[in-house]
Amino acid sequence: MTILIDDRRVRARDASPARYFYLHMALACAATAFLGFAPTYWVPLAHRTFSASPVIHFHGLLFFTWSLYFVIQTWLAASGRVVNHRAIGIVGVSLATAMTIFGFLASVHVMQHSAALGQKEAGIAFSIVPMSGIAFFAVVFVLGIANTRRPEIHKRLMLLAAVSILDAAIARWFLTFLAPPGPPGPPPVPVTIAPAVVASLLLVVAMVRDWRTERRVHLVYITGTLAMLAVKVLNWPISESAAWHAFAGGILALAQ
């Protein structure tokens, strides 16, 4: 009986409104991912007008599953079910590993598709966007796993990882409503910077929350946001370099 009462007290303490902040952020990430891909993937898929290779479909399934998994994990943590949160952590490791693999495969597919359209060089240049994005996600996720015993760092790194892959979803709205009509093919690399800036606004919300509750902004948010935006900006000059074209072009040659 004493154990049950203590457990309830722990859950009541851990389920304070402030702890639900990360659940709300996870829900915002999931909603952004779903709504972002709605006009170019979910709606056409529902109307059976969307056609893509199995790699793209599986890639999308994995990334959206991650959004739902992140919601479940933050809910478990917020409600004090830390044991359950840790128990299914291995699922997240497996999921993130599969995302990294299929993120790379999807990048190669984009290059192959662009080459088939006669835009080989444009496809090679654009491939840095998904490749650098999934690499950043993987690094942040590994750091998050390495800091599971430091929850204040762990939960912020997990949020950073979730936000870092939202630029692709946000970019779909830019392409749908703002991009001028043109021939099919990969967009210019510079246009991917704006969606990343929009995605980073979620991290700004987290920074504001930190400031209001703790009177300081955690270093993870500051360095993580700057690093994420730096990667997106540096994609532009690197994508135009001979070194990148040799590297990505070599991967394309191996895949063909």
* Confidence at residue 8, expressed as pLDDT on a 0 to 100 scale: 46
Phi-psi region of 53 (alpha: psi -120 to 50; beta: other; left: phi over 0): beta
Q: What is the pLDDT of residues 154-195, one digit of tens each?
A: 999 999 999 999 998 998 887 776 655 556 678 889 989 999
Tell me, yes or no, whether 251 lies in a domain.
yes
Rounded CA gap, 60 and 234, in Å? 25
Tell me, yes or no, whether 134 lies in a domain.
yes
Q: What is the mean pLDDT of residues 19-27?
A: 91
Looking at the structure of the chain, the number of domains it has is: 1
Q: What is the pLDDT of residues 48-75, one digit of tens each?
A: 877 778 888 888 889 999 999 999 999 9
Rounded CA gap, 83 and 88, in Å? 9
Band (pLDDT 50/70/90 cuts) for residue 98 is very high
Q: What is the pLDDT of residues 116-155, one digit of tens each?
A: 888 999 999 999 999 999 999 999 999 999 999 999 999 9
- pLDDT score of 200 more than 70: yes
- What percent of the chain stands above pLDDT 70? 89
10-14, 72-76, 84-88, 236-240: least confidently modelled range: 10-14
Rounded CA gap, 238 and 230, in Å? 12
* Confidence at residue 19, expressed as pLDDT on a 0 to 100 scale: 72
Q: Which amino acid is at 51?
A: S
Tell me, yes or no, whether 2 lies in a domain.
no
Rounded CA gap, 224 and 136, in Å? 10
Give the structural domain span for 73.
Answer: 53-255
